[in-house]
Each structure stands twice: as structure tokens, then as C-alpha cells.
Structure 1
Amino acid sequence: MTDQIEKAHEFGALHIKGEPVIIFNVWDAGTAKAAADVGAKAIATGSYAVATANGFEDGETMPLELVLANVERIVGAVDLPVSLDFEGGYGREQDKLAANITKVIEAGAIGINFEDRIVAGEGIYCVEEQAARIGAIRGAADETSVPLFINARTDIFLSRDTSTHTEEHLKESIERVHAYAEAGATGFFAPALVNPDFIGKLCAESPLPVNILVWPGAPGSKELADLGVARISYGGGSYRTAINAFKDAAKNAVDWKVATP
């Protein structure tokens, strides 16, 4: 537990405004080791990649027991902080969330992504309910003494085309980051936010380190750093890059384009 607590503190310290930690998301122990081998400072799973690699659809269709077993193997494979993409926490009610987060911590994770999208439903939770859900997770985590990094994700931007993002959406995201921070979140994740002005305003007004996803039309890493971003994630992009390379190699092999060693 002491090592896990230290890794949780280490992970939190990596989130520096203007000096973002780079998260090239993994999906199993092998990819975690590969990321560690090339100098990754921390490991984080992506739910899309984990689910797809195991034959499931994204969106909590992969049984929680398998998700936990997978992250436990990842934790055992690398000497780095490991964060789990926990989607919606595999439960709506606060007592269920509390029980589930205890299992996540027992599996060795020191952080989670936790989204406000209603999994298997429509839309996103109202800010009050999602803040209460975050509070339940924070309370249960604190009982374990592990300072869990709760990266609170909002789907305000992901739920609509980037060309339709407005100042009102930005205003709502700022309202949510303040509510989520008060409830116990440690970071704020806004996937599909690509407008540099909006990113800069969010970083300026957020009480939490801001996480931006590598996304078509988004600024590059250097510009994101200059805007005040503290974490840059690749999400499902890392899986798609790997699987496309595998497909290309497999096609060359089955088409007899590569000689057998």
C-alpha cells in the first residue's frame, strides 16, 4: 500500500500546467511495458482499446471483473503509476460506485478517468448528480488512504461536432470543473475540445489541471503546453495506430510480399 500511495503522489505531481505529461494509452501488460521501455512517465488505459482488444464494444460491456484483472496485470508489469479508464464507474448509484472504486484500488490502480456521460443511456448527468457521484468515489478512495487521482471527464464537447462548439458549451464546462473540483476531482478531461481559445480559457479558469485529447483539428503538443494544458492523452488513437500497423504487416504476409525469415 505504501508503494501505491507513493505512486499516486508521483502521478499527481506529473500534472503541471504548461508542462503536460504525455499519456500514450495502453490496453494490456505488453503495451504498458512497451510504453515504459521508451520512457513513459505514467501508464493509463483507454476503455475503447481495452474493450476492443478483448472482443467487446466500448461502453462498459466488458465485465468489470475482466477490467480489474487486466489492470492488475498491468500494475504488476511496470514500475510506474497506473491509471484506469473507469468510464462511468460501472454503476449509477453512489454505493455501487464506492464499492467498485475500492476494487479498483485493490487492483493497484492509483487513478481513474471518470466520465459524466450516461453509459447505456442518453446525454450526460446533470452537474449536481455527477458531482455527487465524484464525491462518493472520493469518499471511498480516501478510506483506503490512497490519494486517488480522479480525472473527471466531461462529454460536453465529445457529444457534438467540433464545428458546433460554442461559448455556452465552454461556460458549462467551466461550471462543471468547479463543481467537480469541489466534489473531490483531481483533474479535468475535456475530450474533443479543439478550439485553442476555448482551451486557453478553460485552463485559465480551471482549478484543476486540464487534460486534452489528441484529436483531429486540435492544437499540437507544443501549443497545448503554451495554452496551459497539464496532460495530453492519445485515447483510442494509440490502439488504432498499432492495429493498423499489424494489419499492414499481416496483409503483406498473407499476400506473400514478405519473405519468411
Structure 2
Amino acid sequence: MPIDYAKLKSMQFEPLRHTYTRRDTMLYALGLGVGADDPTDASDLKYVYEKALVALPMQAVTLATAPMLLADPAFGINYKMLLHAEQTLTVHKPLPTEGTVQGEFSIDEIYDKGKAKGAILYMTRKLFDSATGDLLATMGNVAFLRGDGGFGGKSEGAPKPRAVPADRSADHSITIKSPRNQALIYRLSGDYNPLHSDPEIAAIAGFNRPILHGLCHYGMAGRALIKTLCGDDPSRLLQLDTRFTSPVYPGETLRVDVWNIGGGDASFRVVASERNVIVQDFGRCEYRN
């Protein structure tokens, strides 16, 4: 049965409140592998040690969210065929290291690529500080609905991400090692999909072992970009957008290739080094100079 476009577009979501602690902030950073190489490195300790704790802005993707939201039968979506295709993050204010936040959701648009090609769903989540009412972050989640094409919707008009420069080599390349137990740590920040922890579930999905969460290696790339472009000052990050193009396995080495575009604007791509496979593409990072 095809999805009901009108029903999805008009769906009203209840805001979600989420109280998190400094422990959650440190656990998120540990889930990105922060401190794994050198637990005495001051540039890492500030994210995992309460003495002078700072929150990474990418942590916003884990707060006041509902990972299984689109699995609700009311949507009519074939959730088992859904893939997280793209993630965007606009930072409006630095994320507090603890507090209560509220997430507000909306479905922006759904594009029909055809019965055999699936559909593309665009969703926005705004994150507010419950104590002040301040807008902290705006996030975009693009879902590829592989089993839901052919519902009769429009096929054109979807936003086009910016490709990385093809005419020159990257200006920076940063190597990141993913710990083998990384998915088991990252899942404790709220995404308990067994695809990332259960070998039997991973095998059913066609993988030889559990894969790393897309938002985990997204956060890893963001951490590398903050260190390289922002002088390791997370408050300078303004925008972080990417497209997920291939799965990552815990334990792999990732290479973040960065092209300076100018004026606090950069493009990036993430490659699984051992397999020479692009796992994130069309990356865009904007930051305060």
C-alpha cells in the first residue's frame, strides 16, 4: 500500500523534552572515540572530563529525538527499507553541557522517484533550550524510503548538495582511527538499533558484522573539522552537512579530506582508508573565522 502523502505532510508532532547531564555529554564524546588515542591530550580531555567540560555541537543530533519515529504504522512507511541518507546541522548557540531541551519536528517534503526507485523524505528538527527558550540548533534529516516509491508525488525539486572540488587535491587530510568497540559505546547516547550491535541482525541486513552508526562517523568527521578548521574551538562551528554513501565498520581507519572554499566555508569527504570507499560525500562545513 503506498504512503499517504497528504497525511504525512499534515502530520503534527508533539514536541519532545529531553533532560541530559554532564555524564551524557562526556559519554557522547567517548562514543566518537575522543580520548582513545591519548587520554591525557588536553584537546580531548575538555570533552570527556568534567573539570572544564565543553559540549561538542554535533551532540545535538542525539537530543530530544525519536530514532524510531518513522517506524510508527500510522505513517505507512516500510521502515525496514529506510536508510538515513543525509544529515544537516545549523548551530545557532553553543550547546550547554547539561540541561533540558525541546525538539520540534516537521516533515518538509517527500519526493517520489518511482516505484522501483523509492522516495526521499526531508524532515526538520529544531532544538530549543527549555530554560531560556533559545533556539540552539536546526537539523535536517533526509531519509531514503527504498520501499515507498510510486505513490504519485512529484519527483523533481529536491535540494542539490554541493559536490567537493574535482579539479584539485584536498587542502587537508585528517586520519581518524575507529575503535573496534565504538558502536557499543555510541549506542548508549540513544540509538539502540540492533544493526549496530547484534551480529545476527547485521547478517540479516546483509552485513558480515555490525556497522557503525552513520551519526557516529558524522560526529567523528565534525570533531576532525573543528580541530582542523576552527582551532579546536567548537563554538566556531556554524554548519555541518553530509551525505552518507556507504557503511563504516568499527575498527576502520577513516580519512577526512577537506577543501578550503574560502570565507569560513569548506567542503569535505570521508573515506574508509583500508577499503578506499567513500562513506560520506558532498560534505559542507561553515565556521566562524
The question of a shared fold, defined as TM-score above 0.5 by the shorter chain, is answered with no
Alignment TM class, shorter chain as reference: under 0.3
| TM-score normalised according to structure 1 size | 0.26
Looking at both structures, which has the greater relative contact order when contacts are Cα pairs under 8 Å and sequence separation is at least 6?
1
Between structures 1 and 2, the one with greater helix share = 1
| TM-score normalised according to structure 2 size | 0.25
